[in-house]
């Protein structure tokens, strides 16, 4: 059995999507999703701290193996059970594969910061307009850098769909809540291709309608 410690449409969605894309339930056994309430005492009082040193999602338990961190989990599962989604050492795309995987975390850390400021802070706390403005600008710059490097073709790497696309797909779900993607036509087309994948659709069906964001777009607050 695979146990996935999960928060709906958080970084753990990457692992849920990978499980669907690689057919890992057929290889490793049925998936048990342990859903946590982010920011709650439940996360600290559950079994999550034993699996995740920082008490964060995602974390997995598979046949005695315990791992946390979405990038590490994805790289491990790809290398051990879905090599068709990776790029081995010596592959001409290895460096680009690793760079996109870690670039996705550069972007996701900015999204996480905005989530903290704009979604988690509740009255009487208020988000800092200056911090939000700077973070949105950094997120936009990260998207601009990606847009400028998008190649002709469907996926990030010339040899086809990979784990790097799975890592990036989560970002393109969350980023539009803070940055208008209409200024990035290549990324919008890429996002559409991701959403058309049967494995992505199956993962979304397991998630259900998202319950995290209560607005379609979060503008920078006024000073």
Query: Which tens digit of pLDDT belongs to each residue from 124-176?
Result: 889 999 999 999 999 999 999 999 999 888 999 999 999 999 999 999 999 99
Q: What percent of the chain has pLDDT over 90?
A: 87
Q: Where are the beta strands (DSSP E) in the chain?
A: 2-6, 31-35, 59-62, 65-68
State the pTM of this model.
0.95
User: 217: Cβ–Cβ under 8 A, 6 or more apart, which residues?
Assistant: 176, 177, 178, 180
User: Where in the sequence of the chain do the CATH 1.20.1050.10 domains occur?
Assistant: 94-207
β-pair partners for 34: 5
pLDDT score for 223: 75
Distance CA 40, CA 43 (A): 6
Structure confidence at residue 44 (pLDDT) = 87
How does pLDDT run across 183-199, given as a tens digit for each residue?
Answer: 999 999 999 999 999 99
Q: From residue 184, give the alpha-carbon distance in Å to each of 77, 105, 109, 153, 196.
A: 31, 19, 20, 16, 19
Average pLDDT, the chain: 95
Which numeric CATH code is attached to 94-207?
Answer: 1.20.1050.10
At which residue do the structure tokens 């849920």 appear?
16
Whether the pLDDT of residue 39 is over 90: the answer is no
- When pLDDT is averaged across residues 200-212 and rounded to a whole number, the result is 95
Residue 12 has which token pair?
Answer: 């753990």
For residue range 79-90, list pLDDT tens digits in order: 999 999 999 999
CA distance 64 to 82: 20
Q: What is the pLDDT of residue 160?
A: 97
pLDDT tens-place string over residues 51-78: 999 999 999 999 889 999 999 999 999 9
CATH of the structural domain 2-85, one choice from 1.20.80.30, 3.40.30.10, 1.25.40.20, 3.40.50.300: 3.40.30.10
CA separation for the pair 58, 2 (Å, rounded): 13
* Structure confidence at residue 30 (pLDDT): 96
Residue range 25-48: mean pLDDT, rounded? 90
Domain limits, CATH 3.40.30.10, in the chain:
2-85
């Amino acid at each position: 059995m695979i146990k996935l410690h999960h928060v709906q449409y958080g970084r753990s969605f990457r692992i849920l999507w990978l499980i669907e894309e690689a057919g890992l339930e057929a290889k490793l056994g049925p998936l048990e999703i342990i859903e946590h309430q982010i920011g709650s005492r439940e996360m600290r009082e559950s079994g999550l701290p034993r699996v995740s040193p920082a008490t964060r999602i995602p974390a997995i338990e598979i046949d005695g193996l315990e791992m946390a961190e979405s990038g590490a989990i994805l790289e491990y599962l790809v290398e051990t059970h879905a090599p068709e989604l990776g790029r081995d050492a010596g592959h001409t795309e290895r460096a680009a594969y690793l760079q996109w995987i870690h670039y996705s975390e550069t972007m996701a850390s900015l999204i996480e910061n905005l989530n903290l400021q704009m979604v988690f802070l509740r009255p009487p706390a208020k988000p800092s307009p200056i911090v939000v403005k700077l973070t949105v600008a950094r997120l936009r710059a990260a998207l601009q850098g990606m847009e400028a490097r998008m190649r002709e073709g469907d996926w990030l790497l010339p040899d086809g769909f990979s784990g790097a696309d799975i890592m990036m797909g989560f970002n393109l779900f969350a980023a539009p809540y803070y940055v208008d993607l209409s200024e990035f036509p290549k990324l919008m087309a890429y996002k559409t291709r991701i959403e058309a994948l049967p494995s992505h659709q199956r993962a979304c069906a397991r998630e259900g309608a998202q319950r995290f964001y209560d607005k379609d777009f979060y503008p920078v607050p006024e000073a």
